[in-house]
Structure formats: C-alpha cells, structure tokens
Amino acid sequence: MAQPRQLYLFLISDSVGETGFKLTQAAMAQFPEIKPIYERYPFVNTKEKIDELIENAKEKDAIITHTLVTQGLSEYLQIEAANNNLTSIDLLSPLVRSVSKRFELEPTHEAGALHHLNETYFDRISAMEFAVLYDDGKDPRGFLEADVVLLGISRTSKTPISLFLANRNIKVANLPLVPQAHIPDELYQVDPKKIIGLTNDPKVLNNIRRERMIAYGLNPDTTYSDMDAIKKELAFAKALYRKLGCYVINVANRSIEETATLIMEHLGLDHY
C-alpha cells in the first residue's frame, strides 16, 4: 500500500489559534489520501517572528493558514509569503473587510476577541465541571439542576456527548442504564422534555463492545458483548424511555457532533 503524501501546514495566530486550527482541519478532512502535519504557532505578534516562520515554512514547503487580526501583521505575512513563493491563506481578513466596508466601521484589530474571559467563558467552565461532577449518575440530585439529562446503556456515547454539550454552556447530567438496576427517584421529577434517551443498533453495539474488550487485552466474548444480553439492555432502555415519554436518538453511525446538534435543536438551543 502506498504511503500517504505528507503536507506541512503552519497555523499562525496572534491569539490561541483554535479557530484557524478547526477551519484547517475541516478543509484537510476532504483529502483522506494526504497526511497533514500541523505546526501551530500561537501568539505571533511581531514581524520578526513572522520572518522566522517564513524561513521555517520554506524549508518544509508548508502551506500557511493564519488568523492574524493585529493591525498590519496579516498584510505583512501575505507579502512575505508571496515573496518567498509560499501559499498563505488569510482565514479572517476577507470577511472582516467586507463587514467593515458594508457598515463603514473599523474593526478592533484585537487578538483573541472571540475567547475573552467573559461571563460566557466562565459559564462554559461551570458547565464542564457540572458534566464531570454528574457523569455516570454519580449524584442523582444533579438531574434536577441539569439543562438536559442523558440516558443510555453502556457505549451509547453519554460522556462524550455530555462534554461536547458542556462546551456549549449546557449543563448535562447522565445516567447509565442497567436492566433491573434501581432508577433514581429524581429522574421522574425532571421535565421529560429535558430527558434524552440514547440508543444504538445491536450489531453496532456488539462490535463496539468487542473492540473495547480487545483494547483492554480481555476476552471479547463475554456477557458484556453477548448479542442476546445487548438486546435485553436495549429493550429495558426502550421501555424506560416510553415510560418517561422522552425524546430518543439512535446514535448508531452518528458522530458526537450530529447527536449533540439533534439534542440542541430539540431543546431549542443555539448550536453554533
């Protein structure tokens, strides 16, 4: 099998650079035959630093993407990249200029404006802490404080979905479902609209659980991965969901992002 072709990508920002990283990753996902090598350079705020990075990029024949908003840096980088026959892609300036022109407003040129330590930021941290505190039904009292409660049998992505939603400032508690296990009384006090029942296809669950056991170096053929046992677990969860009257999502072949988006739409929350 041929080795994938490598491409160096220099991600330059005068702040943390998370925005540019995500955009660049999204673009490179369109080319599975290419192996991207990301080199991130946050807090670049001088022309001297840009000069150093240009020389480094030349050695590796890298493509540069950047989200520089500090006045003059973006233009300087574009010019220097062109002078050195390098591809440099400005991810922010075209939109900033368009908005500036339409409304006759000057941008702030403030690095990291999107990620200020404002009230929203601290709400996000609080939501993350909440998700960790009330993960796996550790304390059923969290159900009464949560914006959403996730239910599901093992390997229905409860924890990763909880953390993804928490990163959107949503307080999430989750409860693993096990047949014949006691269901906390607090769950029945929650508005059914706030409860999400997660389910999966038996074959998908069987594969996931077998791979999980193999990853731990254990025998994959156990009760945990037994198809009949899985079907009983799913039937138990389905009966509980029907009793609660909650919204149900099948996570089979869905990404965490897709499932989280369905949850936010159900709750009427902004998912951008």
Q: Has residue 118 got a pLDDT over 70?
A: no
pLDDT value, residue 123 = 85
Do the Cβ atoms of 61 and 73 come closer than 8 Å?
no
Residue 104 CA, distance from chain mean position? 35
pLDDT number for residue 110:
75
pLDDT at 260: 96
Would you list which residues are annotated within the binding site?
152-159
CA 208 to chain centre: 20
Indicate if the pLDDT at residue 108 is higher than 90. no
Reply yes or no on whether the pLDDT at 167 is more than 70: yes
Question: For residue 1, is pLDDT > 60?
Answer: no
> What is the architecture of the domain spanning 119-267?
3-Layer(aba) Sandwich (3.40)
Residue 229: the pLDDT is 96
What confidence score (pLDDT) does residue 113 get? 66
Average pLDDT, the chain: 92
Q: What is the pLDDT of residues 24-34, one digit of tens each?
A: 999 999 999 99
Same topology, domains 5-115 and 119-267? Answer is yes
Mean pLDDT of 175-188: 95
User: Does pLDDT of 116 surpass 60?
Assistant: no
Report the percent of the chain where pLDDT is more than 70: 95
pLDDT (0 to 100) of residue 44: 94
Residue 23 burial by CB count (10 A; 0-12/13-18/19+): exposed, middle or buried?
middle
pLDDT class of 115 with cuts at 50, 70, 90: low
List the binding residues for ADP.
Answer: 152-159
Arithmetic mean of pLDDT, 65-75? 93
- Other beta carbons within 10 Å of 204: 16
- Domain segments of the chain as ranges: 5-115, 119-267
The class (CATH top level) of 5-115 is alpha beta
